Amino acid sequence: MDWFLPEKLEKLKSIGGGASLAVLGCGPAGLETAIYGSILGFKVRIIEKARLGENLMRWGHARCFTPWGENTSSLGREILHRLRLEQARRSMDTIQTGRSLTTDYIEPLLASQLLQGALETGKSVLRIGLVEPTPAVGQTSAFLLLTRLQDGKEKMEEADFVADCTGTYGNPRWFGPAGLPAPGEAAARGRIVYGLEDILGESKAYFSGKSTIVVGNGLMAAATVSRLALLARENPATWVTWISHKPSALPIARVPNDPYRERDQLAAEANTLASRGENHVEFFPGMKIQQVDWLGEDAGFRLVCNGPMGVKSFEGERLVCHRGFMPDTVLWRELGVPLDPVREEFGRELSHPPRLSGFDVIGSKRNGRRPGYLMKNAQNQIRAFFSRITRQPQLDLYKLCEAKGNLHS
């Protein structure tokens, strides 16, 4: 029987019992958490400091290397089908951009009756605390949220449960030694590019005909260097200095038998550019950045590095840092979360003492500073979160949806 029928939904909605759930962040992880909670009868609020899908849209010009079937869920696709939207029949193997994922998936689901009115934009959550710091064992904790509107007005708000889905994209890592800012980096932070820019589109004029220093050895660095190399074909005055702290002659570690073809192609292309020095790309491995100097609007930056050949200086009009991102833990420091996501071991299951049973970190923020997060990873985290707070270990709406044949691809 179709479990989306009214009588089935009423039974599911009784599980949450109208308890309030604050979902922080309206990206893919926040959306999936909100869908799951709403079906179970929680009173869901999605609190987003900017626009919906803000982080996703900031790199949204780029193509995802994961397909539609992995970037969406069985629950979300079922709702799209019931809304009679064309994308409900999209092939699971379709590759889309971050922007199309936002417009074709996040936006229609937020507009659906299930989540209508749940989104609150332009509101930041500054801190999370417990209403009762020392609840009795087994007692559900209520949380206190200090929020701020864009006009600066602040107030305290309560929630029975909280899911932090704010991601990491807005919190880039420093590129100095030991995870610290390199001397001069903090002062120049507002002039350094940390995100994935649309180099062949909106940001073309900013990079065209300029010398750019790119720091990093991951896929974002590969994407930036590859696009700058294409730009150099159009404008030969465009030059790229690629700096990696790792000593390997090839900057991007390729995945053996990579299941994602576009990811492997990007890695191969970037490695070729680094090894051959084509399209005005010069690659320097094993370089530790010692100093960052801002030389002025006309001159740009100077980086002083220590590498295999000793101390070397690099100058460029633009500076792009792709050393990855890390979670901002200040938000829930007062909760005393047992594991710190800044550390590598945060990828394991969180330990949840009774006082924190109603809180969890979901999505890329849960991955800490480790690379390799995939959107599909959030589904297991979401299932575990709701199984715990509803005290139903076997609860799994994803399996329920699939078992009833409610998939339409």
392 backbone dihedrals φ, ψ, rounded to 5°: -125, 85
In a domain, 1, yes or no: no
pLDDT value, residue 178: 84
Q: Of 80-94, 131-145, 163-177, which range is least confident?
A: 131-145
214 vs 132: which has the higher pLDDT: 214
How is the beta sheet containing 318-321 ordered, strand by strand? 281-284, 239-243, 211-215, 318-321
Q: Is residue 189 part of a domain?
A: yes
The verdict on 117 and 135 lying in the same domain is yes
Q: Which pLDDT score is estimated for 199?
A: 97
| Domain membership flag for residue 314 | yes
Q: Do 297 and 343 have their domain in common?
A: no
Identify whether residues 138 and 215 lie together within a single domain.
no
- Is pLDDT above 90 for 372? no
User: Which residues fall within 8 angstroms of residue 56, CB to CB, at 6 or more apart?
Assistant: 27, 28, 98, 99, 101, 102, 106
Are residue 40 and residue 120 in the same domain, yes or no? yes
- Out of 292, 321, 350, a domain closes at 321
Return all residues near 272 (Cβ < 8 A) that are at least 6 apart. Answer: 278
Question: Which uninterrupted H or E stretch holds 128?
Answer: strand 123-130
Domain range spanning residue 209? 177-321
Checking if the pLDDT of 351 tops 70, the result is no
Using the 8-state DSSP alphabet, how is residue 104 labeled? I
Residue 409 lies in a domain: no
In a domain, 209, yes or no: yes
Distance between CA atoms of residues 171 and 174, nearest Å: 9
Average pLDDT of the residues of the chain: 88
Number of domains into which the chain is organized: 2
Distance CA 192, CA 187 (A): 10
SS3 assignment, position 38:
helix
Residue 261 within any structural domain of the chain: yes
| Final residue of a structural domain among 291, 321, 351 | 321
Residue 308, domain member (yes or no): yes
Residues 11 and 105 grouped into a single domain: yes
* CA separation for the pair 359, 323 (Å, rounded): 29
Q: Which of 322, 341, 321 is nearest to 331 (CA)?
A: 341
Same domain, 96 and 224: no
What is the pLDDT at residue 349? 52
| Whether residue 216 is found in the same domain as residue 129 | no
Is residue 280 pLDDT above 60, yes or no?
yes
80 & 67 share domain: yes
On whether both 341 and 299 belong to a single domain, the answer is no
What does each C-alpha distance from 45 to 21, 216, 280, 330, 335 come to in angstroms?
A: 6, 37, 49, 21, 20
Same domain, 22 and 122: yes
Tens-place pLDDT, residues 94-124: 999 999 999 999 999 999 999 999 999 999 9
Q: Read off the pLDDT band of 136 (50, 70, 90).
A: very low
Residue 347's pLDDT band (cuts 50, 70, 90): very low
pLDDT classification of 335: cutoffs 50, 70, 90: confident
Calculate mean pLDDT across residues 321-344: 77
- Name the range with the highest mean pLDDT among 251-255, 342-346, 405-409: 251-255
- One domain for residues 281 and 357: no
Query: Tens digits of per-residue pLDDT, 180-204?
Result: 999 999 999 999 999 999 999 999 9
Shared domain for 291 and 360, answered yes or no, is no
Q: What percent of the chain has pLDDT over 70?
A: 89
Confidence of residue 53 (pLDDT cuts 50, 70, 90): confident
Residue 112: which H helix or E strand, with range? Answer: none
Q: Residue 154's pLDDT is what?
A: 97
Question: With 60 as the cut, is the pLDDT of residue 239 above it?
Answer: yes
The mean pLDDT value for 306-310 works out to 91
Residue 148 lies in a domain: yes
Using the 3D structure, point to which of 298, 321, 344 is the last residue of a domain: 321
CATH number of the domain to which 197 belongs: 3.50.50.60
